[in-house]
Structures are given as C-alpha cells and as structure tokens.
Amino acid sequence: MTTAAKLNIVPFVSVDSMMKLVLAIGVERFLTELAAYIEEDFRRWELFDKTPRIASHSHDGVIELMPTSDGRLYGFKYVNGHPKNTREGLQTVTAFGVLADVGSGYPMLLTEMTILTALRTAATSAVAAKYLAPNGARTMAIIGNGAQSEFQAIAFKAITGIDRLRLYDIDPSASRRCAKNLAGMGFGITICSSGQEAVEGAEVITTVTADKQYATILTDNMVGSGVHINAVGGDCPGKTELHRDILLRSDIFVEFPPQTRIEGEIQQLDPDHPVIELWQVMAGKVAGRSSDKQITLFDSVGFATEDFSALRYVRDQLQATGLYEELDLLADPDEPRDLFGMLLRAGAKEGVVA
Ligand SMILES: NC(=O)c1ccc[n+]([C@@H]2O[C@H](COP(=O)([O-])OP(=O)(O)OC[C@H]3O[C@@H](n4cnc5c(N)ncnc54)[C@H](O)[C@@H]3O)[C@@H](O)[C@H]2O)c1
C-alpha cells in the first residue's frame, strides 16, 4: 500500500471503541493525561485560530460547530445542546469530531465525541480549579447530577484531590444514580435535598444543570467568601445558572472572551466587564487565586481548543491500542484527477453503465 493509498483510510473511533479506550486506560488516568494536553494547548493559545463557535439556535436547543487550528493540525466538533431531550430518552449533548492534517487537508481521525466531550469538559474544569480553587479543597457540591456529573467528580478527584461530594438535583433519582455510579471510587458522598444544603461546607461548587432559560441555581446568599465556582451548565444565549450579584462579587475566569460574552454567565453583565483569560493564568502571565477570601468563578462554556486537545490525545492512543476501525472515507482514484474514471471503472466491474 502506498502512503497516498493509506491516507484515504481514516481511523474511526466509534462509541464502542471509545468506551474500550477509556476503560483500557482507566478513567482517572485518561482524565489526567487529557488534562495535560488541554493545559499544553492553553499555554500555546496565541498559535490557535480562534472564533466563537458557530451556533444554530432553535426553540428547543442549539447545534454548534467548533473549529480551530494550530497551523499544523485542524480540528472541529459538531455538538448539540437540547435540555428537553432527556424527557424523550435522548441525550442533552451529543457530539462527534474530526482532526485533519493542515498540510494535505486530509482528515486523520473521525471520532465519537459525546463521551469525549464529558471527559474534556471535566478535565478543563479540573485544570482551571488547580489554579483557582482554595488550597487543599476537599469538598465539592455538584448541582445537576446528569450525564456530565460523574466525569466532573472523577476529574476533580484525580487532578485537585476532591474526595467529598455533596449532590443535588431537582430529580432525586439523578442524584441517587450519580452516587451509585461513583460508589467505591474513594468519595464520601452526601445526597442533599436542596441547592442550599449542597453548598454547605463546600469549597468548590460545580453547577452543571440543563435548562434553556435564565435559571438561578445559585443565589447570592449561597456563596460565601473564598469559594471556587465551576459554572458549567450556562453555555448558551438565554441559558445561565448564577444570580448576577454573584458575578459582581467574583473574579471571573473565561476561555475565549468573545465566545463567553455571548454564551456564558457574563452575558448578564456589561460587555466590557473585566474578565481574566484562563490561558494567561496557565501561561503564568497573570495570577489565579490570590487570596483566601476571593470568590473565583470559572465561567465554562467549552472552547474549540479543548476539543482539539481531546482529538490529539485520542489520536495519540490509537497506534498502541488499535481501538479504531478503518473508514473508507475519502475517494482515492489512481490518477488524482480521474475521479469520474474511477466511477466508470467501478460501474464496469459491476456491469453498470454510469
Ligand atoms: N461548559 C461546557 O463545556 C459544557 C460541556 C458539556 C455540557 N455542558 C452543559 O452542561 C449542562 C449539563 O449537561 P448534561 O449532559 O449533564 O445534561 P443532563 O440533562 O444529562 O443533566 C442535567 C441535570 O440537571 C438537572 N437540573 C435541571 N435543572 C435543575 C435545577 N434547577 N436544579 C438542580 N438540578 C437541575 C436535571 O434534572 C438533570 O439531571 C447542559 O446545560 C450542557 O449544555 C457544558
């Protein structure tokens, strides 16, 4: 097989292969290694093409494309967000993505990204918390105990040392499922009957609810000084989780300000309200947490570089694990300009005239 012939076959990581890959590596190790890729890419932030994601909004949800490139590789993710889906037995968030070679423009990887998005979102939150959460924090409240929640818990345990969880969801069965799924993983878990109860004694508060409205998951009185808030669920215009007064008391850390101002909690603030770019903290250009009293807020919306890092990480695991299928994705005529001839020859083989 020539190199050109090999390039037309694109590795494809199905949901089944992704699950096998995560299980073969181990969830904690996967999250820790993925977090290192994410941090590495945040540190070379200036190299990347950056644009707010391209969103197509509808009454019930949003479909988004998230492209970026570091000049050598190009990646994009297709992702949706439909909070009403779970009532119909469907996921709120599903995704797939592509990594491509900038030199040839040929795709190098096509992969499921529903599981990978949960992993990369959690890894990003935990990396941010490494710089922003109070020193030695061990207790985290998780409000919203759906698809993302266990990943958040495990990433915080692996990367920041959180080992006590206080869970709350408007649907108590979601909290019970989350607690059951995390049993035996080294957490002390308390299921709470309100958001107020969940935040008691928590040094880190993660909000990861799904509701297509300006919700108030946290009111101002629920947030004491010194806390780190990891606000994950507010990620669309008209979809937020925190009362505005909390934002006014917090130092706000964001991924890419032009996107977060459209989609994040800070859509509630003036367009020039000061925010700190997370990459600058990771690159050592500005401080993360600087006092015990400070309220730090990671206004997470999810940015394309995080998916790019995840695509890179997955691609780097393929050789050693073999957990992929070969996809005949790209037409590959012997003479590159004879695309029609390739069709004619295929027809002749089948006895069909084009
Ligand atoms: N920031 C990011 O990078 C990023 C990435 C992925 C998902 N998200 C967002 O995170 C959110 C959660 O995603 P998911 O896949 O876990 O969704 P999900 O539908 O599986 O779970 C959401 C949970 O929130 C609960 N909930 C809704 N309203 C609540 C309230 N008022 N109080 C307490 N609990 C409440 C629901 O009962 C449900 O169990 C979504 O809004 C999604 O868009 C953000």
**The pLDDT of residue 329:** 96
**The pLDDT of residue 354:** 75
- Distance, CA 84 to ligand 1 centroid (Å)? 11
| Of residues 192, 125, 116, the one with CA closest to residue 155 | 125
Structure tokens at 215: 């919700």
**Ligand 1 atom 42: residue of nearest CA:** 233
Structure tokens at 326: 């070969």
**The pLDDT of residue 4:** 43
Is residue 247 within 8 Å of 223, Cβ to Cβ?
no
How far apart are the C-alpha atoms of 128 and 192, rounded to whole Å?
26
**The pLDDT of residue 96:** 98
- Distance, CA 119 to ligand 1 centroid (Å)? 14
**The pLDDT of residue 206:** 98
Cβ-Cβ contacts under 8 Å for 305 (sequence gap 6 or more):
38, 41, 42, 45, 48, 50, 68, 255
Length of the chain: 354
97, pLDDT greater than 50: yes
- Distance, CA 29 to ligand 1 centroid (Å)? 24
**The pLDDT of residue 2:** 41
Q: What confidence tens digit (pLDDT) does each residue in 274-287 have?
A: 999 999 999 999 99
Q: What angle do CA 63, 316, 64 make, to 5 degrees?
A: 5
**The pLDDT of residue 349:** 94
Ligand 1 is surrounded, with C-beta below 6 A, by 81, 86, 92-93, 117, 121, 143-148, 168-171, 174, 208-211, 215, 217, 232-233, 235, 300-302
49 is catalytic: no
350, pLDDT greater than 90: yes
6, pLDDT greater than 90: no
Q: Which of ligand 1's atoms lies nearest the C-alpha of 303?
A: 3
Q: What percentage of residues in the chain have a pLDDT greater than 70?
A: 99
| Of residues 115, 207, 112, the one with CA closest to residue 167 | 207
Q: What confidence tens digit (pLDDT) does each residue in 304-347 have?
A: 999 999 999 999 999 999 999 999 999 999 999 999 999 999 99
Q: Which domains are present in the chain?
A: 3-115+306-350 (3.30.1780.10), 124-301 (3.40.50.720)
